[in-house]
Every structure is written in C-alpha cells, then in structure tokens.
Structure 1
Amino acid sequence: MGDKNEVVETLNAAKSYLNHLENLNKQLENAEKQICDTSKESERNIETTFSNLLTNLTEILLNRKDILIRKVQKTRKQSLAPLEASRSDIFSNIEKTKKLIREGQSLLNSSRENLDEFSQKSSFLGSLPAIPELKEVPFISFHYEPNLESELLDICSQFGDVSRIAPVQISQTVEKPGAVLVEWQSVDDERCVDIQEFRLQRAFGDVISEKHLETNFFDCYVGAETQFLVKDLHPNQLYSFRVCCKFEGSSDWSPWSLPQVTKTTIKPFSWASNKDFVFADGNKIATPVKEMPSLLLSDGPQFAVGYSVEFSYLEFDNKCSTIALVAAKDATDIKEIKSSSHSYFALDTTGEIYVDGVKKSTKLPEAAKGLKICFMCELINDDKVRVNIDTCNKQVTYDWQICKTDKLYFAALLKSPASKIMVE
C-alpha cells in the first residue's frame, strides 16, 4: 500500500511538473511570437516610412530644381531683352552704313550732282548705341550652402532608429471601483534620471488581438507621476493602456511601451436608491427633494482599504452637512452617521473631523460650492487603517481602529434641496 501511495504522489508531482513545463513552453512561444511579430511589423514600418520619405523627398527636390531652372530662364529672358533692343539698333545702323558706302562709291564714279543729298544721309555717322559693360549685365549663377547639404545628408543618414524595448513599461494595473490604477516604471536604469515627463494613453478594447483598435488611443495623463487613476470605466469592459516618456532636453516622445490590456470588475461608486433624493449620472449625483432628508448611503459596502473616494459639493446650502466612511456589518445598522453603534470617520462642512465620537484638533477649510474632498484609506495592520483627507490643497491624516475586513460604506447627511453631492 505504501508503494502505491508513493507512485500516486510521484505521478501527481510529475503531472504538476509537466504542467509547469508546458506553461513555461507557452511563455517561450509567446516571447518568440512577440519578437517575430514586432520585428516583422517594424520591417514593414521601415519599408513604408522610407518609401514615403523617398517619394516625398524626390518630389520636393524635383520641384525645387524646376523652380530654380525657371528662375534662371526668367532672369535670362529679362536680362537679354534690353540687349536685343541694342542689337536691333546696331543692325539697323550697319545696314544704313553699308548702303551709304555703296552710294558713296557710286558717286565717285559718276557726276557729283547728289553730293548734298549724300552729305545729309551721312549725318547719322558717329552716333553709337549705348552698350553696357560686362560687369553691368547679369552673371547668372547657381549657389547653395555646402554646410546645409551636409546637414541634410547627416539628417538622412541618422533618420529613424530601432529600439530593442521602450524605456518605460507599465508595471502594474490595479482594479478600482469604475477605474483602473495604472503604474509604470523605467526599464532603462542609465537614463531614468533624465526622464522629464510621462504620457499615458487609453484605448477601448484589446489592441493586441485587434490591431485596428490602436487608432482610438488617446491621452489620459501627461506629467511627472509614475501612476494614474483612470476613471469613468465600464465594469468588465476591456481597455488597453500604453505609456511613453520624454527625456530632458528632447522634444520627442520615446517609443510606446508594450500595451497592457485590463479591465475592472468593480462597479463605480454610487449612491443607494432613496425616496428622499433624485439621482443622475448612474446614481453618482444625488439631490434631496425635501428638507431634512434621510441618510444617503453608498450602494452597498463599496469602499475598502486601498481605495480612494472623492465627494464634490455641486450645490451648497450653507447648512451643516456631513460626509463619512462608516464601518458596519449591514446598511440597516446605519441609522445616522455619528452613532455609537458603529465606527465612523466623518467630516462636517464646517471643517470639523470626527473619528468614532472624538472631535479632532485639526480643522479643514469650510465647504463651499464646487469643493472636492478626497478620502484615501491605507492599511497599517489587521486592526488599524490610516485615512487621509485631501481638500483645498490641504491634507490631514488620522489612524482609524477598524479591522481590515470590515465592510465600509460611504455616507452623506444633507439638509435641503438646495444641496447636491457627487461621488466618484
């Protein structure tokens, strides 16, 4: 029996080992495919780019040549016109002079009765047309800057490059409610300190399997940070992300990173239905329909450690309202925010902060229309979290004694229909 068990264990180990080997082989196949596919695509891009460049450069140079030749021809025509007029005068006088010589020779062999007429005809002799000196007429020439030619040839000789891999790559994508946190890092250790800014783009769908979707990439972040929370995403919908960078002193962006395809399965933050409110934008915006409405709660325990939630007062009634994170087992346990029956982390519109019944010494700016308040929660240990509140470029941080597995709701206590709040 012992031998059989050993054989079974060996078989199981062998199957597990085989599975690992097959997975590794699959990874190798994917790596080989990526190298071959991207190299072939790069070859096609090089062929297309240089073919277009050659066509365009040839067309530009031929056009420039024709322009210069036409300029030479126009200059020649304009310069010859006055010389042609002078030549016409000279030829006319040559003919008149030859005719006069013939008449004179005839007079010498005959009677001299027509001497007076002959003398009158000779009056033009000695009158010569004005002919410009060579230094006064155009000396047409073609010239160009040899340095410019060298510069053009140098640019052409260094046009384009081939990168083994882009200098910055997406390192991680993290699902958030209706959003994805995209993080990236430099893979070029030598030049990472020279990076001036990053550029993150998003496309709808899977661009790896559907190349044509690359045309819908658009910027969603440009800046110096190495992460960005991409919001307003549809749950369970695939999105593609890519990032590039710009080095200090350069105006050109680097090649794009490998595209990363991901999705969020977590629905966006929203308010639970409540008869005392009207809702808009997928229940993200809530407006009371009566004075002193009931407590406004999130649509379930949507908040968790590692999340951030932003509240915006779209309209404000100048009455004391409250927003909060509430730790409770069930929404039915939450009758009001500041209750001893559950843990809470609250901020009044007066700027006062309350944590589990304790009013904190730090006070934030008072609320106003358009104000945005962001709650961020990070784990310290199994029984403690740290909450940061950001508003008006000010931040406060307090620890909150709750279990990391506690269900967290967000809540708002508004006072009148003149107020309106949005959650993101």
Structure 2
Amino acid sequence: MDKKEILDTLKAAQVYLSRLKSLDNELESAVKQIINTFEETERNIHDTFSNLKVVLVNILNKRENFLLEQAKKAKTDGLAPLEECRNVISSKVVGTNKLITQGNSIINGSAKDGLAAFSKNASLLGSLPEVPELKEVPFISFHVDPTSDNEVKDILSQLGEVSRIAPIQITELCEKPGAILVEWHSVENDDRLTDIQEFRLQRAFGDVIKEKHLLVNFNDCYRGLDTQFLVKDLKVDQPYSFRVCCKFEGIQEWSPWSLPQVASTSLRPFSWKISDDFLLSNENKIAKPTVDSPKVLYSDGPQFCVGHSVEFTFLEIDSSNAMLGLIDQILPTSSSLTSTPGNSFLVDKSGKIFVDGIEKCTRLSEFSKGLKVCFTCDLVNDHKVRVNVDCNEKRVTYDWSIDPDYKMFFVSQFYSPNWKILVE
C-alpha cells in the first residue's frame, strides 16, 4: 500500500468515523427521547392517580355524609308522630291509674266524697289513641345497585393507557410559498385505525423541541378526515412546530399527540407586483384596479412552479370581461392576455379555458363574487406538467408542454375598476 492509498484510506476512515459519531448522536437522541418521555409519563401517571384518589375520596365522603343525613332525616320524621302518640298514651295511663285508685278507695269506704269525680273520669274510658301499623311507619334501609358498583370498578380498573407511540405521526413537511404542506399517516397496526372519526392538526410558533415552554402555544389549524393540510400565512424562515392526533369512532377522547415536528418555509407568500394601475393591500395579496383599462397584473416575480398551488378569490366583480392564469414571461406593456405569444394557461370570465392560446372544449363556472379558482401543478415528465384547475367543486385537468424547472408568473387582467381579487 503506497502513501496515496494510505491517505485515501485515512480520509475514508475519517468520513466513516464522522458517520459513526453522527449515528451515535442519533442513538443518544433516541435514548433520551425514551427516558425523557418515560419520566414525563411516570410523573403524569403519579399525578393523575394522586389527584384522582383525592377527588374520589372527597366524592365518596360527600356521598356518605349525604346518605347518612337522609337516613337521619327519615328517622327523625318517622319518630316525631310516634313520640306524640306515646305522650298521649302515657297521659291516658296516668289518668286510668288514678281512676282505678279512686274507684278502689270508694269501694273500701275510704273516699266518701270522690264519687262525682270518679263518675266524671270514668266517662274517659274507651277513648284509645290511634297507633299506626308497622307497615305504615318507615323501615329505613340502604341499597347499592350492584350493576353501578361493578361499572365503577370496571371504569377504574381500565382507567388510563400507556402508548408506546402515538397512532398517527407526521410523515412529511413540505415548504410552499408562505405555507407548509403537512402530511400524516398511521404508524401502528391497530384495528381501530380503520374507524378514525377525525384528525386534529395543531401549530405552534417556534421550535417546541428546543424550547419546551412554547408547548402552550399550540392551536388547532385543521380538523377533518384529510391526511394532509396546507398551513398558510406563515412568516418566511420562521420555525413552526406541528403535531397531530385522531379520534376513533365511538370514543370521545383524542389519541396521544404525535411527536412534534419543526419546519419553516424559505419561499415568499404569493403576492402581486406593485403597479400604478392597481391598489394593493393585505401584504400585496389583494389587488383592485384604479383605472378603467388597467395593464396586466403580474405576480411579484415568477413564483409558481411544479408542486405549488395558487388560489384566486374574487372579492368584487363586474360585467366586463376578466382573465387570470399562468404565463411564462412578462408581456409588452400594451399587450393583452388574449394575445399571449408564449406559454400560457388562462381562464376568462365566462369560464373558457385557453392553453397556449387554444380554446379548450371544457368550461368552468362563470366568475362571480366569492368564487375561488385554484391552479395546482404536478410533474408528468421532463417536458410536461399536469395542471389542475378547481372551481366551484369542478376540476379540469390538462397536460401542458412546458419545462418543469421553469417558474411561471400568475397573472390577471381586468377591463374596469370594479374588480377586486385575492391571491393565496
């Protein structure tokens, strides 16, 4: 082995060592994730059950005291009329004993003047107080429905669940102009995954992996059954954190959250180019003509390419004609979109579609206030792209012969100042 071979071997060894260290760092991160999440889960289990024990004891104590009070009230209410009846009987016993004593005294001749009083008291005999039967008085008891008791035991015995990993994970974060396309899929073989009722995507400002205190900033940005969502209105080069979970059919609780994923976009949001003939607002996303016959309105540079999606919304309309779409170059100042010399994909007010100046047989809905027209572009091969145009729940698709690496302008043209359009 000569010197050059030794040097090449040493260089390869350095590269190999660097990769080993990188793998070791990844392994260390994986170990930390397991340990940290276990410790957090352990704390959550202890805290949850400790708090639950306190709550359950309080609930049971309150229920016990409530039932005891009910039993005491039943006893008090039941004894009150019986005590009154007993007092009447006791009074009559005393009177009757007195009458017997008087009568014996008269018979024995020891009481000569008590005959009138004896006769008067004797008239009271035979008046007995009314005593209720046992079936008419309270028979206090306590009863617990064994079914309810078993239900409580079953609930407590199955309370909580430890998940090895959340059933739904974010699989891809793709940057778009002023947005990030988030995709997610299931990662476990779980029969319940076929019965998913809803997904829930959340976004937080910043990197929650490095800055844990930002976890409180998560907010919902999508709920539904789609497995992807375009999160719009993002700042360029600003990190955002995302997480997703799901809800299974028949279960009210959400699943555990996926691992947070962090991403940012370096692509500027779609916007219109400043023009003397238009008034721009909302960070140049909204344009309104200021003259009767304005020039063609262009995007702020060639912004649209394969993999992108651009949506136009008509905020105000007019009876005059209008056009919008995609072109590959800026036209001469006096040109109209109807006479575009290069590659173009346009839609006019009536819904007609023109590809490279040729009108297609398919039509979209006529432009109206609030109508949205969305262009998406996918790769077919090295010389062709596929353009989808969605409008009013209708989609048309055409293959367009254009260099896929070429970025295009999105454009619009109006013929009165009564139009207003939003691009996103």
TM class, shorter-chain normalised? over 0.9
Q: Equivalent residue for 1:135?
A: 135
Query: How many angstroms apart in 2 are the aligned matches of 1:243 and 1:325?
Result: 35
**Paired amino acid for 2:165:** I
Shift of 1:3: 1.6
Please name the residue that 1:268 is paired with: 269
Conservation of the 8 A alpha-carbon contact between 1:324 and 1:337: no
1:30 equivalenced with 2:50 (yes/no): no
CA RMSD of aligned residues (A): 1.7
Does residue 381 of structure 2 align to residue 370 of structure 1?
no
Match of 2:172 in 1: 172
Partner in structure 2 of residue 291 of structure 1: 292
**Within-5 A mapping of 1:197-346:** 197-328=198-329, 335-346=335-346
Matched residue type, 1:354: F
- Rounded to whole Å, the distance in 1 between the matches of 2:340 and 2:129 is 119
Given that residues 371 and 392 in structure 1 are in contact (C-alpha distance below 8 angstroms), is that contact kept between their aligned partners in structure 2?
yes
8 Å CA contact retained: 2:331, 2:340? no
In structure 2, the residue matched to 1:419 is: 419
* Structure 1 residue matching 2:347: 3-state secondary structure: strand
Amino acid at match of 2:68: I
- What amino acid is the match of 2:327? V
Q: Which moved more, 1:249-258 or 1:410-419?
A: 249-258
- Other-structure match for 1:14: 13
Q: How does the TM-score come out when normalised to structure 1?
A: 0.96
Give per-residue Cα distances to partners, 1:364-393, cap 9 Å, x unaligned. Answer: 111111110000001111111111100011
In structure 1, the partner of 2:163 is 163
Give per-residue Cα distances to partners, 1:131-174, cap 9 Å, x unaligned: 11111110000001011101101100110010000111100000
* Corresponding position: 1:97 with 2:96: yes
User: Matched residues in 2 for 1:51 and 1:73: separation?
Assistant: 33
Using the TM superposition, give the Cα deviation of residue 255 of structure 1 relative to its aligned residue in structure 2, in angstroms: 1.1
Q: How far is the alpha carbon of 1:332 from its aligned partner?
A: 7.3
Deviation at 1:226, TM superposition (A): 1.1
- Give the conservation status (yes or no) of the 8 Å contact 2:105–2:111: no
Q: Deviation of residue 276 (structure 1)?
A: 0.9
Report the CA distance between 1:111 and its aligned residue.
4.8
Do the aligned partners of residues 333 and 307 (structure 1) sit closer, same or farther apart at CA in structure 2, a change above 3 Å counting? Answer: farther
Change (3 A) 1:334 1:80: farther
Equivalent-residue separation in structure 2 for 1:159 and 1:401 (angstroms): 60
Work out the CA distance in 1 between the residues paired with 2:333 and 2:37: 57
2:68 is matched with: 69
Work out the CA distance in 2 between the residues paired with 1:290 and 1:355. 28
SS of residue matched to 2:123: helix
User: In the comparison of the two structures, how many residue pairs are matched?
Assistant: 422
TM-score normalized with structure 2 length: 0.96
Give the letter aligned to residue 346 of structure 1: L
Structure 1 residue 99, shift from structure 2 partner: 2.3
Deviations 1:240-285 (A, max 9, x none): 1111122233333211111111111111100011111111110000
Task: Report the residue type matching 2:139 in the other structure.
Answer: F
Shift of 1:98: 2.3
Query: Gaps spanning 5+ residues in structure 2: where?
Result: none
1 CA distance for matches of 2:288 and 2:203? 32
Distance 1:357 1:111 in 2: 142
Query: What is the CA–CA distance in structure 2 between the aligned matches of 1:332 and 1:213, rounded to whole Å?
Result: 50
Q: What is the Cα deviation at residue 238 of structure 1?
A: 1.6
Could you tell me how far apart the structure 2 residues matched to 1:299 and 1:332 are? 17
1:327–1:402 Cα contact (<8 Å) kept: no
Which whole-Å CA distance do the structure 2 matches of 1:22 and 1:338 have between them?
61
Cα pair 1:378 1:386 within 8 Å, conserved: yes
Identity of aligned residues (%): 53
Deviation at 1:395, TM superposition (A): 0.7
- Separation of aligned partners in 2, 1:324 and 1:357: 12
Q: Structure 1 residues 88, 217: CA separation in 2 closer, same or farther (over 3 Å shift)?
A: same
For 1:36 and 1:111, the matched residues in 2 are separated by 105
Paired AA for residue 204 in structure 1: F
SS state of the match for residue 361, structure 2? Answer: coil
CA distance in 1, matches of 2:331, 2:16: 48
In structure 2, the partner of 1:110 is 110
Looking at structure 1, the residues matched to 273 and 312 of structure 2 have their Cα atoms a distance apart, in angstroms, of 15
